[in-house]
């Protein structure tokens, strides 16, 4: 029989599972949607029981497919949305409150008051500022409000919740890449920052023990999944994509286009020294294996795919994202019409959550294709801002940028990204399964299916490469014009 890894990708709006074979390819993907509710303007929640139930459903479908196709499942890999947190009862196994999703900002005002004192402390220790979410603050207050005996309450992120159940309630832990997303995780020590937890009023015993991403997460309970195999890797979804897209050496980067766009780059064995110099650049554990952390940087542009959805579905100025791309392709980049996609504020190079989008430089001669070109170029410039922020922070060039996600289907967008960054862009062949494959590669390397991560990613099919087409002088002039437009927007 062929061997494979059962890989589960639990995202914010859906969960999917597939078996990744020895050739590095995914079998069919089984999917179930997840509900997200907004009970108040600053609150975003999910039903943790639904999340578990639907994760088990798709995983069992993938297990059945493996049995029908003579694939032996050697282990389970799990990647999850990050910083969504759950409180549950150790005895009943049921959640004590709705899961708080990573977009939740109910404590943003209180945290803003802590930021002046704590940002300079937390950035070098944990790689991130205070921010707008506080899972530990929520957990401590919720436990007190519920009045449940402390020894019955368990707390963790989605990976903690799923591993506890999938292992038959025997393993309680959080992976390093999910721990770093909660805030308060000491990058170098692989431990929680006791001072920060204390400042939030969170008892140390409420924090789940951090474990290597390919550490000991126990074995699956046959009564839950129908198989008993090692839970061989657990990690955050963007970290799994970093592996799958081959960012295994310092300076190699990835760009995942979705509702927003994440840009990440591997730094190496030590966090960079200049953390906090540019807003929105976070230092993370790219992944942690065998007691050793590989560090990465990440920055996020919040309005990219959602900007096209707004133009097509809400304003109905265009039929589809594909039409925008086709119109833009017929029009060269211009320095007259500009679109700043700050529909949900700006995070990098400076954080301005109150900023709003701009479409400027219009005249009676402006055409739909000129607007389409400005929209895609504005997205490309914003993503380029994050690439340059990573490049500056890690004090080394970005040597390669592999790109995936829905917007990566646009040739016009990727060519603009290449032109504005001055870096060759490779559109990966199978970006939709990147998180599934990345987690599976880490699990398979641990279990001996592949000798190393490099061997696991080596057989991936090459994608189309977009080479920079602008002369360097023109690129610098155009980027300077963009910075001027952005500065006007922020002012």
Instruction: Write down the pLDDT at residue 313.
Output: 92
Mean pLDDT for all residues in the chain: 94
Tokens linked to 371: 């607007």
| Average confidence (pLDDT) over 159-180 | 98
Q: Residue ranges of the domains in the chain? A: 2-238, 248-427+461-491
Instruction: Write down the pLDDT at residue 363.
Output: 94
Instruction: Convert the pLDDT of each residue in 429-441 to its tens digit.
Output: 888 889 999 999 9
Instruction: Write down the pLDDT at residue 276.
Output: 85
Question: How many whole angstroms separate alpha carbon 292 and alpha carbon 485?
Answer: 43
| Average confidence (pLDDT) over 249-267 | 93
**DSSP 8-class letter at 461:** P
Checking if the pLDDT of 116 tops 80, the result is yes
Checking if the pLDDT of 406 tops 90, the result is no
Q: CA dihedral defined by 1, 246, 470, 370, rounded to 10 degrees?
A: 70
The single residue listed with the structure tokens 């300077």 is: 480
Taken in order 304, 397, 439, 233, the sign of the CA dihedral is negative
**263 by DSSP, 3-state: which?**
strand
The single residue listed with the structure tokens 């997205």 is: 379
Give me the helix-helix angle, 472-490 and 411-421, nearest 10°. 100
| Average confidence (pLDDT) over 112-132 | 94
**403 by DSSP, 3-state: which?**
strand
Q: Are 141 and 201 in contact (CB under 8 A)?
A: yes
Instruction: Convert the pLDDT of each residue in 422-473 to its tens digit.
Output: 999 999 888 888 999 999 999 999 999 999 999 999 877 889 999 999 999 9
Cα–Cα–Cα angle for 384, 115, 135, rounded to 5 degrees? 85
Q: Pick the residue with more confidence: 383 or 102?
A: 383
The single residue listed with the structure tokens 């597939």 is: 18
Taken in order 217, 221, 225, 227, the sign of the CA dihedral is positive
- CATH superfamily for domain 248-427+461-491: ATPase, nucleotide binding domain (3.30.420.40)
**340 by DSSP, 3-state: which?**
strand
| 248-427+461-491 shares the fold of 2-238 | yes
Grade residue 156 by pLDDT with cuts at 50, 70 and 90: very high
Question: How many whole angstroms separate alpha carbon 177 and alpha carbon 120?
Answer: 22
Instruction: Convert the pLDDT of each residue in 183-207 to its tens digit.
Output: 999 999 999 999 999 999 999 999 9
Q: Which residues contact 430 (CB under 8 A, 6 or more apart)?
A: 26, 437, 460, 461
Q: CA dihedral defined by 161, 167, 170, 173, rounded to 10 degrees?
A: -40
CA distance readout (Å), 20 to 2, 230, 340: 11, 15, 40
Instruction: Write down the pLDDT at residue 294.
Output: 97
Q: Are 136 and 206 in contact (CB under 8 A)?
A: yes
Instruction: Write down the pLDDT at residue 335.
Output: 86
Residues linked to residue 479 through DSSP beta bridges, in sequence order: none
Instruction: Convert the pLDDT of each residue in 7-27 to its tens digit.
Output: 999 988 899 999 999 988 899
Question: How many whole angstroms separate alpha carbon 407 and alpha carbon 257?
Answer: 6
Question: How many whole angstroms separate alpha carbon 154 and alpha carbon 169?
Answer: 11
Instruction: Convert the pLDDT of each residue in 472-488 to its tens digit.
Output: 999 999 999 999 999 99
List, in sequence order, every beta strand (DSSP E) within 198-281: 210-211, 231-236, 252-257, 261-268
Residue 352 backbone dihedrals phi, psi, to 5 degrees:
-135, 80
Instruction: Convert the pLDDT of each residue in 339-393 to its tens digit.
Output: 999 998 899 999 888 899 999 999 999 999 999 999 999 999 999 999 999 999 9
Question: How many whole angstroms separate alpha carbon 158 and alpha carbon 172?
Answer: 12
- CATH superfamily for domain 2-238: ATPase, nucleotide binding domain (3.30.420.40)
Taken in order 212, 214, 219, 224, the sign of the CA dihedral is positive
**132 by DSSP, 3-state: which?**
coil
Grade residue 491 by pLDDT with cuts at 50, 70 and 90: confident
List, in sequence order, every beta strand (DSSP E) within 148-248: 153-157, 174-175, 185-186, 191-192, 210-211, 231-236
């Amino acid at each position: 029989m062929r061997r494979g890894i059962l890989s589960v990708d639990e995202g914010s709006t859906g969960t999917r599972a597939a078996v990744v074979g020895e050739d590095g390819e995914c079998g069919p993907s089984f999917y179930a949607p997840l509900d997200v509710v907004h009970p108040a303007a600053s609150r975003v929640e999910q039903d943790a029981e639904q999340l578990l139930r639907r994760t088990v459903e798709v995983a069992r479908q993938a297990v059945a497919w493996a049995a029908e196709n003579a694939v032996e499942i050697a282990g389970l890999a799990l990647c999850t949305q990050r910083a969504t947190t759950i409180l549950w009862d150790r005895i009943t196994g049921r959640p004590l409150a709705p899961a708080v999703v990573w977009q939740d900002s109910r404590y943003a005002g209180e945290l803003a008051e802590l930021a002046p004192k704590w940002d300079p402390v937390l950035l070098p220790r944990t790689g991130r500022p205070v921010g707008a979410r506080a899972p530990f603050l929520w957990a401590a207050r919720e436990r007190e409000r519920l009045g449940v005996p402390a020894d019955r309450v368990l707390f963790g992120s989605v990976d903690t919740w799923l591993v506890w159940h999938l292992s038959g309630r025997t393993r309680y832990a959080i992976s390093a890449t999910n721990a770093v997303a909660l805030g308060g995780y000491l990058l170098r020590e692989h431990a929680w920052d006791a001072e920060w937890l204390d400042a939030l009023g969170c008892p140390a015993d409420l924090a789940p023990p951090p474990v290597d991403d390919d550490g000991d997460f126990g074995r699956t309970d046959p009564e839950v999944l129908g198989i008993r195999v090692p839970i061989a890797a657990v990690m955050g979804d963007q970290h799994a994509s970093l592996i799958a897209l081959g960012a295994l050496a310092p300076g190699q980067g990835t760009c995942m286009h979705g509702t927003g766009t994440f840009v990440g780059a591997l730094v190496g064995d030590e966090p960079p020294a200049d953390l906090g110099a540019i807003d929105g650049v976070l230092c993370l554990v790219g992944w942690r294996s065998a007691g050793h952390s590989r560090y990465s940087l990440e920055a996020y542009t919040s309005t990219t795919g959602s900007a096209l959805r707004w133009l097509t579905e809400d304003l109905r100025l265009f039929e589809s994202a594909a039409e925008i791309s086709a119109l833009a392709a017929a029009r060269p980049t211009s320095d007259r019409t500009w679109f700043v996609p700050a529909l949900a504020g700006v995070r990098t190079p400076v954080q301005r959550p109150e900023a709003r989008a701009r479409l400027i430089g219009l005249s009676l001669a402006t055409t739909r294709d000129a607007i389409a070109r400005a929209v895609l170029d504005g997205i490309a410039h914003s993503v380029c801002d994050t690439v340059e922020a990573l490049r500056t922070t890690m004090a080394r060039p970005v040597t390669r940028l592999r790109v995936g996600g829905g917007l990566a289907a646009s040739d016009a967008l990727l060519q603009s990204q290449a032109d504005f960054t001055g870096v060759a862009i490779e559109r990966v062949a199978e970006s939709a399964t990147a998180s599934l494959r990345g987690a599976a590669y880490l699990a398979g390397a641990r279990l001996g299916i592949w000798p190393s991560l490099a061997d696991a990613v080596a057989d991936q099919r090459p994608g189309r490469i977009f080479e920079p087409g602008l002369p360097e002088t023109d690129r610098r002039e155009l980027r300077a014009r963009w910075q001027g437009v952005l500065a006007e927007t922020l002012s």
